[in-house]
Amino acid sequence: MNNINDLLKELGVDLAPYSGNQIHSVSPINGLILASLRADNSAHVASKIGSAHAAYLQWREIPAPRRGELVRLFGDELRTHKAALGQLVTLEAGKILQEGLGEVQEMIDICDFAVGLSRQLYGLTIASERPGHRMMEQWHPVGVVGVISAFNFPVAVWAWNAALAFVCGNSVTWKPSEKTPLTAIAIHSLFMKAVARFGSDAPAGLAELIIGNSDAGIAMVDDRRVPVVSATGSTRMGRDVAQRCATRLSRTILELGGNNAMTVAPSADIEMALRGITFSAVGTAGQRCTTLRRLFVHDSVYDTVVPRLKKIYAGLPIGSPLEKSTLIGPLIDANAFSAMQEALNTAKSEKGKVFGGERAKVEGCTDGYYVHPALVEMPTQTASMHHETFAPILYIVRYTDLDQAIAWNNEVPQGLSSSIFTTDVREAEKFMCDSGSDCGIANVNIGPSGAEIGGAFGGEKDTGGGRESGSDAWKAYMRRSTNTINYSHSLPLAQGISFDF
């Protein structure tokens, strides 16, 4: 089922309330317009935030395990509609079908995680220095959580935030990428189905959807009724969000650029490394924040790895992501293709040797921007390699000393994900230790891409420092309250202070 109208009908989507001619959903597969929608103006945004705030005031009173039941029902809706939603992701974002389905599965997984979490929002009991006193910490809902998501993960990123925010007692306003509004509308429709099944405990306005361009996002970010903003996208966008939120002292969860590296050590399992390199570098046509962009190969295995990699690249099936045999779909648009070509030209000027990178012809998809993934052999890590280009470009550099590879890994402004392939436990531990990789994710014998929801996801430096998904990332969606209870008959002061009168 690849017809957009059939998919939307199966997902229960009615586009009538969104009718307009300001936001155009364009399929990167063939450049065709899937739908034209209206954009929310500042008044619309303010109204939706007001509804979300009113919903929060009611939702926070619902016990957390009961809140988890709503997320469980939403997970059921995702399971039921996984195939259709996965296809919609492919049509609108250009991901291959397996990746579209994988993104929906990621949503299902975070729902399962959040349901369990709804019974584990633990605080602490803390030893007091004063006799007859008890100290403790509690975690309370924070309010309206604003979510800004990017085109490359049009549904999963919202779920990472929303599933946790809902069980923590918050409401959510969502400003998706203007390039992928239909997937957001479909998710909103499925969530409202879950709300209908859940019953009257779920207030109107619990989930609000804002369709629009950057102006709509700015209106949400600037609203004082949104105490937490989670933003996924470019470092430039993240800086703007952070500065705006700082003026009103609100919190941010920033998931920004990545410029991820892999080190292939002398003892590496080469077959495993080649599989890890290929998926990490070309998956989603190189348009993941965790895409492998820099490859450091030890001199002793360089002449084995690189020729093998060129052979693999030459045989990768490029085509419509709707075809099951396709492994590399299109770039999102013409601007992405232009940025890729500019980066390759810069690499050539820095004495890089480019293999691939040209536009690929795909039958029936003339207006889609398909490319052959590029390998670029560089003499050393150059200035251009410090910049993230959202395209399938993999820079390759020889190294002889692990300290040098780690230094290159850490040299760039971004700090999201990293990995090493080695069977030497010393090298593995060195890579992960205090003086090793400075990234938020450091893997051994897997690539930098494809994180599980059980661990907190995010990175350091220009990646923004935010953490989403697993571990204790839930705390970012709550406020901490420290409580001291005096059950004695006296009032001793802390630090032994005497204040008698």
DSSP of 470-490, one letter per residue? STTGGGGGEEEEEEEEE-SSS
Catalytic residue (one of 255, 377, 388, 427)? 255
Q: Which residue in 274, 286, 341 sits closest to 311, CA to CA? A: 274
Q: What is the CA radius of gyration of the chain?
A: 24
Token pair listed for 63: 């016990």
**Angle at which helices 156-167 and 181-198 cross, to 10°:** 30
DSSP 363: T
Dihedral of CA 424/429/432/437: which sign? negative
Q: For residues 372 and 375, what is the distance between their CA atoms, to the nearest angstrom?
A: 10
The answer to whether 204 and 59 are in contact (CB under 8 A) is: no
The answer to whether 45 and 216 are in contact (CB under 8 A) is: yes
Q: Which residue in 411, 382, 422, 330 sits closest to 28, CA to CA? A: 330
Residue 67: CB atoms within 10 A of its CB come to 26
Q: Which residue in 130, 246, 208, 224 sits closest to 489, CA to CA? A: 130
CA distances from 191 to 29, 51, 113 (A): 27, 16, 17
Residues facing residue 24 across a β-bridge: 36
The answer to whether 396 and 376 are in contact (CB under 8 A) is: yes
DSSP 463: T
Token pair listed for 8: 């939307």
**CA 286 centroid distance within chain:** 14
Q: Which residue in 446, 89, 113 sits closest to 290, CA to CA? A: 446
Q: Is 255 a catalytic residue?
A: yes
> Residues near 307 by Cβ (< 8 Å), separated by ≥ 6?
none
CA distances from 456 to 196, 278, 467, 472, 474 (A): 31, 24, 6, 7, 9
Q: For residues 370 and 475, what is the distance between their CA atoms, to the nearest angstrom?
A: 41
Catalytic residues: 255
